[in-house]
Structure 1
Amino acid sequence: MCWQAPRLAPSRARAPGANADMSTTKSHDVTTHAAAPDTRPLVGVRVIDFTQVLAGPYCTRLLADMGAEVIKVEPPAGDPSRVLPPQLGPGHSGYFAWLNAGKKSIVADLRNEADVAQLRDLIAQADVVVENMRPGSLAAKGLGFEDLHKLNPRLVMCSISAFGNSGAMAGQAGQGIIAEGMAGVIDMNGEAGGQPLPLGVSLADVSSGIHAYGAIVTALYKKLSQDSAGEYIDISLFDSCLPYHDIALMQVCVGSGKVNPTRNGNEHPQVVPYGVYEAPDAAFVLAAGTEVLWGRLSRLLDDALGASTEDLSTNAQRIKAHGIVRQRVEAWSRGLGSARRTIEALKAAGIPAGPVEPVRNVPSSELARSRRSFVSMEDPVMGRISIPATPFRFSDTNTEPRKRAPGLGEHTAEIAATLAQTKA
């Protein structure tokens, strides 16, 4: 066989099998998976994963969590995210561990014709191919959908790219921040009248990974329910950003260009009050944009401060007088003395509110622990680490990842041997 498994980094001493087991964390207690039949919905689905860094790996992480066998194809140097922070050893990144839990890893050199030929043999037995390489890279090696569809007519293939494989920028390379800029998302972030600011989160990449996951599962269902051929799915980071505009984009679409939505600092530009407000000791978030919720909040404010001289009864009026609304909310909060008391009073009145939690506090928060939002796993170099769990829960199916992220090329020999047996 042509694939070569690189030597893995030395691992810490551990009990036999500890490298492969995943555990769940609840209030920092570890509960191992009980031995039981795997009833996850995608068991039996084989995915060949040509993805790297974030958008594609998040999609295939979700597929793996749902039970699919995900075989990650890495170049000899590995997925670039293996060297992203936080790092606790060569090729052992917490970032990579999060996005690639539950997958297998093989190493293949796409410049090597023999490796490409073996990949074609592997894809002939697969259900799904996912890739987020530079547009056209796989097609240039004979691994594009047109060639693979002839090889495996039932194959579902999904490509994730910045601008898609059709349209004015088809085939051009890009990254999440570029797509967010071109989709108008960055223009909506920042202080009113100030400079647009990049987001503090990877919206384009993660959302495109989620959209790709949903599209792939839909295509698999169609293939099963209609006994149809596989098909090609084109996901762009640009398109994936657009739904997040919410009201702003529809104002443009139905306003014949007369409306120009723009950034509005820590308040929603089209719904008031809906944003981040200041208590004496900390910030808090408040969402009272509907008339029912505003009625409840208005009574709290009026009881404490007296009635406003401005008519704030409609959202349109509150948008125009958003500064007055903010002054009243924050004056009322000052009277309560703290963000905690403010949030308690709002919740008691049936008004959605919450703290602005620092990222460092999130994994250990009561909400995250009670939701089992993080799972704990053993890495051969990093030791026991926590990663975000699958965001959705099933009533009768455990969708937590069963295995840690693989070492580079860890499963090359296994997959090559299996492939050789099927060809024998």
Structure 2
Amino acid sequence: MNTAAAKRPLEGIRVIDLSRVLAGPLCGQMLADMGAEVIKVEAPGGDENRQWGPMNPAGHSCNFMSVNRGKRGITLNLKTEGGRAVLDQLLAKADVLLHSFLPGTARALGIEEDVLRERHPHLVVAGISAFGASGELADRPGYDALLQAFSGIMSITGERDGAPVRSGVSFVDMATGVMAYCGVLTALMGRHRSRQGDLVHVSLLETAVSLLGYHGVGWMEAGVLPKREGSGLGHLIPYQCFRCRDGEVLTGALNDHTWVKLCRAVERPDLERDPGLATNAGRVARRAEVVGEFEKIFASGTVAYWLDRLEAGGVPIAPLHTIDQALSHPQSVANGMVVEVEGPEGKPLKLLGSPFKVGKGPNHAPRRPPLLGEHSEDVLRELLAMDAAQVNALRAQGAI
């Protein structure tokens, strides 16, 4: 098979991406990676994400580039009648609309859901918000760190006796983009059967609360309010980061069988024979003692030494990588998590690959992230059959 010519699963789907920052744009990028035609629509001033660092040597935002691969970019001023008219014409030819407008803003722009559903019944409309589509906070803006705090996630992140800590990655934003992708595909499947579009609502709050997982259920059903546990887990001992001579590793015993393997790998038969430590419940009860022993054990060797010993003994272990180490690791490279596309200056841009692969064909869009308004004229000519005079008239009105 010629994989370069292989069709991707979503070819033939057209997406208008009005979203900003991370969550919605990531959803749009995932759709583009799978073959959808995605048109990113920005206000003339551009997505605020374009201003956020770090910047690459050519002056382009790595933040913006991380979630906008595979798209064509146009500008529309939706505060003008001409801009709104162009958007309406584009939606008539689209399958999906992504947006992250607050309800009040959407109403002011004339693109609230009821209007869209009436004018474009075929359209899947995916709205991404901070606090959800319902409730008294529905019109409140929000960002990743705010929702890490609001959802309770930050209250259980950090060292036991330390201050709450924001996760080092914007995982609520990014996970919300994945949830939006799931919702859009679900709605498209429903449209395939009903021939009618649908509404998709996702929010940072709903994503963050869903990610509480067993912590949330543990409080609701068992009355256990989780606490900060650093790199470990309060209900599994030992299982955390340990400092070695030249770095750190994360390892431990996720069950009693692995506890035996761990004791043998570190040559501590006394710990293995201790009946009070034979079960996880016993080790949890003696947490400080067990953790203290393993802190001394791992401090006596290097990362490479402990990786060799524990892997040979069948004990799960991972080195604590920095970002550069993780991205250059052969396993990341072998699984296509670093990809290259041609940049605007003709030099290669290195971007992160798709987190899932479909078939044997290409799994990332070859098109680089667009410059601001780069494809405005092309899109208006191709999709709306506008001539140069019409495009110039819109430009003169400040609509594009």
Measured against aligned partners, the alpha-carbon deviations of 1:400-423 in whole angstroms (never above 9, x if no partner) come to: 221111111111111111233399
Contact in 2 for aligned 1:247/1:270 (Cα 8 Å): no
Equivalent position to 2:207, from 232, 240, 259? 240
After superposition, the Cα gap between the structure-2 partners of 1:306 and 1:151, relative to the gap in structure 1 and judged at 3 Å, is closer
The amino acid across from 1:104 in the alignment is: R
Find the counterpart in structure 2 of residue 374 from structure 1.
338
After superposition, the Cα gap between the structure-2 partners of 1:308 and 1:135, relative to the gap in structure 1 and judged at 3 Å, is farther
Contact in 2 for aligned 1:268/1:274 (Cα 8 Å): yes
The amino acid across from 1:65 in the alignment is: D
Amino-acid identity (%)? 31
Find the counterpart in structure 1 of residue 241 from structure 2.
276
How many Å apart are 1:61 and its aligned residue? 0.6
Query: After the TM superposition, which residues 42-121 of structure 1 pair with which residues of structure 2 at under 5 Å, given as runs?
Result: 42-88=10-56, 92-121=60-89
- d(CA) in 1 for partners of 2:252 and 2:357? 26
- Secondary structure at the aligned position of 2:66 is classed as helix
- d(CA) in 2 for partners of 1:243 and 1:411? 38
Find the counterpart in structure 1 of residue 366 from structure 2.
402
Find the counterpart in structure 2 of residue 17 from structure 1.
none
**When the two structures are aligned, how many residues end up with a matched partner?**
387
Is the counterpart of residue 252 in structure 1 residue 216 in structure 2?
Answer: no
Find the counterpart in structure 1 of residue 347 from structure 2.
383
Equivalent position to 1:285, from 243, 250, 253? 250
How many Å apart are 1:53 and its aligned residue? 1.2
Query: After the TM superposition, which residues 34-45 of structure 1 pair with which residues of structure 2 at under 5 Å, given as runs?
Result: 36-45=4-13
Find the counterpart in structure 2 of residue 416 from structure 1.
380
- Secondary structure at the aligned position of 1:395 is classed as coil
The amino acid across from 1:49 in the alignment is: D
Query: After the TM superposition, which residues 154-303 of structure 1 pair with which residues of structure 2 at under 5 Å, given as runs?
Result: 154-224=122-192, 226-255=193-222, 258-301=223-266, 303=268
Measured against aligned partners, the alpha-carbon deviations of 1:28-63 in whole angstroms (never above 9, x if no partner) come to: xxxxxx784341111000000011111111111101
The amino acid across from 1:247 in the alignment is: Y
How many Å apart are 1:326 and its aligned residue? 1.7
Is the counterpart of residue 143 in structure 1 residue 111 in structure 2?
Answer: yes
Decide which moves more: 320-329 or 226-235.
Answer: 320-329
After superposition, the Cα gap between the structure-2 partners of 1:303 and 1:319, relative to the gap in structure 1 and judged at 3 Å, is closer
Find the counterpart in structure 2 of residue 12 from structure 1.
none
After superposition, the Cα gap between the structure-2 partners of 1:204 and 1:355, relative to the gap in structure 1 and judged at 3 Å, is same
Is the counterpart of residue 324 in structure 1 residue 324 in structure 2?
Answer: no
The amino acid across from 2:105 in the alignment is: S
- Secondary structure at the aligned position of 2:169 is classed as coil
Contact in 2 for aligned 1:58/1:210 (Cα 8 Å): yes
How many Å apart are 1:297 and its aligned residue? 1.5
After superposition, the Cα gap between the structure-2 partners of 1:311 and 1:246, relative to the gap in structure 1 and judged at 3 Å, is farther
The amino acid across from 2:156 in the alignment is: M
After superposition, the Cα gap between the structure-2 partners of 1:177 and 1:55, relative to the gap in structure 1 and judged at 3 Å, is same
After superposition, the Cα gap between the structure-2 partners of 1:117 and 1:102, relative to the gap in structure 1 and judged at 3 Å, is same
After superposition, the Cα gap between the structure-2 partners of 1:38 and 1:119, relative to the gap in structure 1 and judged at 3 Å, is farther
Measured against aligned partners, the alpha-carbon deviations of 1:170-216 in whole angstroms (never above 9, x if no partner) come to: 12111111111111110011111322111111011001000000111
How many Å apart are 1:88 and its aligned residue? 3.8
Contact in 1 for aligned 2:172/2:208 (Cα 8 Å): yes
Q: TM-score, normalised by structure 2?
A: 0.90
Contact in 2 for aligned 1:84/1:93 (Cα 8 Å): yes
The amino acid across from 1:58 in the alignment is: L
- Secondary structure at the aligned position of 1:190 is classed as coil
Find the counterpart in structure 1 of residue 398 from structure 2.
none
- Secondary structure at the aligned position of 1:362 is classed as helix
The amino acid across from 1:41 in the alignment is: P
Contact in 1 for aligned 2:4/2:361 (Cα 8 Å): no
**What residue ranges of structure 2 are gaps of 5+ in the alignment?**
388-400
Decide which moves more: 310-319 or 165-174.
Answer: 310-319
- d(CA) in 1 for partners of 2:291 and 2:189? 49
Between Structure 1 and Structure 2, which shows a larger proportion of helix residues? 2
How many Å apart are 1:134 and its aligned residue? 3.2
How many Å apart are 1:308 and its aligned residue? 6.1
- d(CA) in 2 for partners of 1:244 and 1:305? 39
Find the counterpart in structure 2 of residue 360 from structure 1.
324
Query: After the TM superposition, which residues 11-22 of structure 1 pair with which residues of structure 2 at under 5 Å, given as runs?
Result: none
Is the counterpart of residue 339 in structure 1 residue 303 in structure 2?
Answer: yes
How many Å apart are 1:147 and its aligned residue? 0.9
- d(CA) in 2 for partners of 1:392 and 1:35? 17
How many Å apart are 1:310 and its aligned residue? 6.4
Contact in 1 for aligned 2:337/2:352 (Cα 8 Å): yes
- d(CA) in 2 for partners of 1:340 and 1:305? 25
The amino acid across from 1:233 in the alignment is: V
After superposition, the Cα gap between the structure-2 partners of 1:315 and 1:69, relative to the gap in structure 1 and judged at 3 Å, is same
- Secondary structure at the aligned position of 1:136 is classed as helix
